[in-house]
Chain A
Amino acid sequence: MIKPRSLARPRKVNKVPFVELYAGRLQGVVSSGSDPNRVYVSYFEAQSGNFYCSTNNNRPCGGLRGSPCKHLLALLDEALLQYGAARVVAYMGLGIEPEKVKRGGDLQRAMKGGPHKVEAGMVFSRFLTYLHYVNLPPTSAPIPEMGWFVR
């Protein structure tokens, strides 16, 4: 049996609605701290450590000045919560000890990349793919295989 990780605290869904490790990137969607109508799309690239943060219509985040903005740091914090330091450190290819990583800033100091623009739509479409799960209809048919998955 594999016992999945139990989270130290619930995810702050309002602040960071979406975070994932996917296709060589740690990426996600982060709410603006000042404007409830604004949402940012943020990512870090594994290995290179390159990053970017922009609104969905590809306008760069004003906080990006050669180093990660607060949205990117919030993304790292939530990734640590969701996946655990060991998995994030391994995925990003960082040469640091996971036991010493307590918050997003510890990860950020180990990453050497700079701002590198990618299309925000790529991350956004992943968010929509993720949300498609909640639109699939429930069923009352027996699913015996779920006996393997305990939490």
Chain B
Amino acid sequence: MSFAELQAPPEAVVQASAALDALDDAFVTGFGRLSSGNLEALASLQRSFAATPLAAAFAEAITGIGRSEFLDRHFLVLAAARSAIQGAVHDALVAQASAALGRPTPADEAIAGGHGQAAPPQAEVLLESARQWLMELALAGFANLDVDVILPFQATLDAIEEEPRLAREAALLAGLLGELLAVFPCRGAPEIPRMRWVDLWSRAMILAAGAPATRASRAVKGELRILGADLQQHDTFATLVVYASLHEAGQAAPRLCRASVSSFKVDVVQGAELGPIFAEVGKVLLSGLAVGGRILLDGMLLQEGGDLLWDDAKAELIGKGDPLAEAAAVLGAATPAQRPTLAPADRHPALIGELVYLAEGSYTVAGKGEPALTIDGANVAVAVERWPESEGLVVSDLAGSKGLVGLLRYDGGAWSIQPLTIAKGKAAPRMLASEIAAALGKKSSSSSLSTLKERAGKLLRKKR
């Protein structure tokens, strides 16, 4: 393991980021008013796609946009080109991380089957509206948005949220819409997180091209040992991702996998109040997280990319586990190649999360507000910006810690570590998001949610 190799990204990644930067300028300016500099950047990008399957469509898109022929398929090509570059950057970074950590690059499991289903006709209409709206954003440019362009989309989004097959698109669009509305209307020059918004825009456009193909899966039987969890959320959606090792019956070596539960929510629902909502689909998973536990799986579906499709009926909590000891065993020299990946179309540097284990004494902690780790003489930042507000694990837990399980992340051109589980010696390990699980058993007398429903009821009654 050599973190010194992760001090700088590969040269090709730096060059690709520069190409993306030039393209992103066009999204800030707006495709309805491109400057000659923007057009040159587009032409240059088009040339780099000359020998690819996108070449013809790209040429058509550039000509079309140049003639002010604004069609959503032209913008879909731009999204595809941008996502292809980000996908290649992701692959180069994962290869770099795997080499530095002395482990094989992660591989999908070969599972037969798994064909995408076309979206139902109703969903197709919604996706078309989404593509149309995204095109309007691109035409106006992120620097020139007006509430009149942003707000009317809310009605379409409400309908997308009602369609379970479009959950990914709904979660993403709700987050993007919320961020746009947080900036606009504004006085003076808006603060645009340009790369981020173009990333979100591109992914939303790709997902709006059609519901993604279902990944191939198989039923598994064996023991799941929880290593840690991450909590991701915006105002109206939250996802709990649990990382674990899976010891399958009849398999000599374990593999690593992910399981997640997600739900829509309202802004005031946070922290422990998410517990009962997540428990509707993953009570056993949450109970396991509360004790860093071991769970027996029988017939649970595992996708080729290492995601378990959680089903409480196929899981049973066996008891407490030891996440740090398990991490030491499965994330050391013999880290398996069979660990979570992203589907090819989903690959993006911001979504990299490579599980790592740091043993007691192998690292030192420096800094308090913005802590960093020193590992074998190399400095690695702690991804504090990714640290969710969680009572289960707080930044001060890092000091004096006796080993940790975390995710290697890449953001802003540098690698960092996001701790998930931290050993505290004799005391139980501190685990991110564990308070959500721990609060499940306690009956809280008044939750934000019940208050909201009661208040809405008072309004309804008065309406009679």
Contact B269 A134 (CB under 8 A): yes
* Closest Cβ–Cβ distance, residue A117 to chain B (whole Å): 17
Contact A56 B459 (CB under 8 A): yes
Q: Is B107 in contact with chain A by the CB < 8 A criterion?
A: no
Known: A56-B463, A57-B463. A142 touches B185 (CB 8 A): no
Q: Is A131 in contact with chain B by the CB < 8 A criterion?
A: yes
Alpha-carbon distance between A144 and B169 when the two chains are bound, in angstroms: 10
List of B residues within 8 angstroms of A118 by Cβ: none
Q: Is B370 in contact with chain A by the CB < 8 A criterion?
A: no
Alpha-carbon distance between A82 and B187 when the two chains are bound, in angstroms: 20
Known: A133-B266, A134-B266, A140-B281. A146 touches B309 (CB 8 A): no
Total contacts A-B at CB 8 Å: 181
Of the listed residues A4, A57, A144, A148, the one surrounded by the most CB atoms of chain B closer than 10 A to its CB is: A144
List of B residues within 8 angstroms of A29 by Cβ: 455, 459
Alpha-carbon distance between A6 and B181 when the two chains are bound, in angstroms: 17
List of B residues within 8 angstroms of A10 by Cβ: 268
Contact B185 A39 (CB under 8 A): no
List of B residues within 8 angstroms of A132 by Cβ: 158, 161
Give residues 17-73 of A contacting B (CB, 8 Å). 17-18, 21-24, 29, 31, 37-39, 41, 46, 55-57
* Closest Cβ–Cβ distance, residue A103 to chain B (whole Å): 20
Contact B411 A1 (CB under 8 A): yes
Of the listed residues B161, B168, B388, B411, the one surrounded by the most CB atoms of chain A closer than 10 A to its CB is: B168
Beta-carbon contacts of B147-182 to A below 8 Å, as 1s and 0s? 100010000001001101001100110010001011
Q: Is B362 in contact with chain A by the CB < 8 A criterion?
A: no
List of B residues within 8 angstroms of A6 by Cβ: 389
* Closest Cβ–Cβ distance, residue B242 to chain A (whole Å): 11
Q: Is B49 in contact with chain A by the CB < 8 A criterion?
A: no
* A120 (CB) vs chain B CBs: closest residue: B459
Alpha-carbon distance between A139 and B449 when the two chains are bound, in angstroms: 19
Contact A133 B411 (CB under 8 A): no
Contact A56 B452 (CB under 8 A): no
Contact of A57 among B172, B234, B264, B462 (CB under 8 A): B462
Contact B167 A39 (CB under 8 A): no
* Closest Cβ–Cβ distance, residue B190 to chain A (whole Å): 10
Contact of A146 among B232, B311, B451 (CB under 8 A): B232
* A150 (CB) vs chain B CBs: closest residue: B386
Contact of A11 among B186, B268, B309 (CB under 8 A): B268
Q: Is B96 in contact with chain A by the CB < 8 A criterion?
A: no
* A127 (CB) vs chain B CBs: closest residue: B456
List of B residues within 8 angstroms of A139 by Cβ: 164, 167, 261-263, 281
Contact B263 A138 (CB under 8 A): yes
Contact B171 A137 (CB under 8 A): no
Contact A151 B280 (CB under 8 A): no
Contact of B350 among A14, A133, A148 (CB under 8 A): A148
Contact A148 B168 (CB under 8 A): no
List of A residues within 8 angstroms of B310 by Cβ: 140
Contact B277 A140 (CB under 8 A): no
Contact B185 A90 (CB under 8 A): yes
List of A residues within 8 angstroms of B162 by Cβ: 136
Q: Is B351 in contact with chain A by the CB < 8 A criterion?
A: yes
Q: Is A13 in contact with chain B by the CB < 8 A criterion?
A: yes
Contact A134 B449 (CB under 8 A): yes
Q: Is A141 in contact with chain B by the CB < 8 A criterion?
A: yes
Of the listed residues A23, A140, A145, the one surrounded by the most CB atoms of chain B closer than 10 A to its CB is: A145
Alpha-carbon distance between A127 and B455 when the two chains are bound, in angstroms: 10
Contact A144 B167 (CB under 8 A): no
Contact B388 A14 (CB under 8 A): no
* A87 (CB) vs chain B CBs: closest residue: B182
* Closest Cβ–Cβ distance, residue B245 to chain A (whole Å): 18
Of the listed residues A1, A38, A41, the one surrounded by the most CB atoms of chain B closer than 10 A to its CB is: A1
Beta-carbon contacts of B383-408 to A below 8 Å, as 1s and 0s? 00111110000000000000000000
Contact B181 A21 (CB under 8 A): yes
Q: Which of B58-66, B110-118, B192-200 is near enough to bind chain A? A: B192-200
Q: Is B353 in contact with chain A by the CB < 8 A criterion?
A: yes
List of A residues within 8 angstroms of B17 by Cβ: none
Beta-carbon contacts of A107-132 to B below 8 Å, as 1s and 0s? 00000000000000000100111111
List of A residues within 8 angstroms of B311 by Cβ: 140
Contact A133 B264 (CB under 8 A): yes
Alpha-carbon distance between A37 and B351 when the two chains are bound, in angstroms: 47
Alpha-carbon distance between A38 and B347 when the two chains are bound, in angstroms: 51
Contact of A149 among B151, B237, B281, B309 (CB under 8 A): B237
Contact of A136 among B258, B263, B267 (CB under 8 A): B263
Contact A138 B171 (CB under 8 A): no
Of the listed residues A3, A55, A130, A134, the one surrounded by the most CB atoms of chain B closer than 10 A to its CB is: A134
Give residues 447-463 of B contacting A (CB, 8 Å). 448-449, 451-453, 455-456, 458-459, 462-463
Known: A2-B196, A142-B307. 7 other contacts (CB 8 A): A1-B412, A4-B235, A140-B309, A140-B311, A141-B260, A150-B232, A151-B231
Nearest first, the 6 closest Cβ-Cβ pairs linking A and B are A138-B263, A140-B310, A146-B239, A146-B232, A17-B455, A147-B351
Could you pull out 11 A-B pairs where Cβ atoms are within 8 angstroms?
A: A13-B452, A17-B456, A31-B455, A39-B458, A57-B463, A87-B182, A131-B456, A138-B280, A140-B310, A143-B237, A151-B232
Mark A residues whose CB is within 8 Å of B: 1-4, 6, 10-11, 13-14, 17-18, 21-24, 29, 31, 37-39, 41, 46, 55-57, 82-83, 87, 90-91, 93, 124, 127-134, 136-151
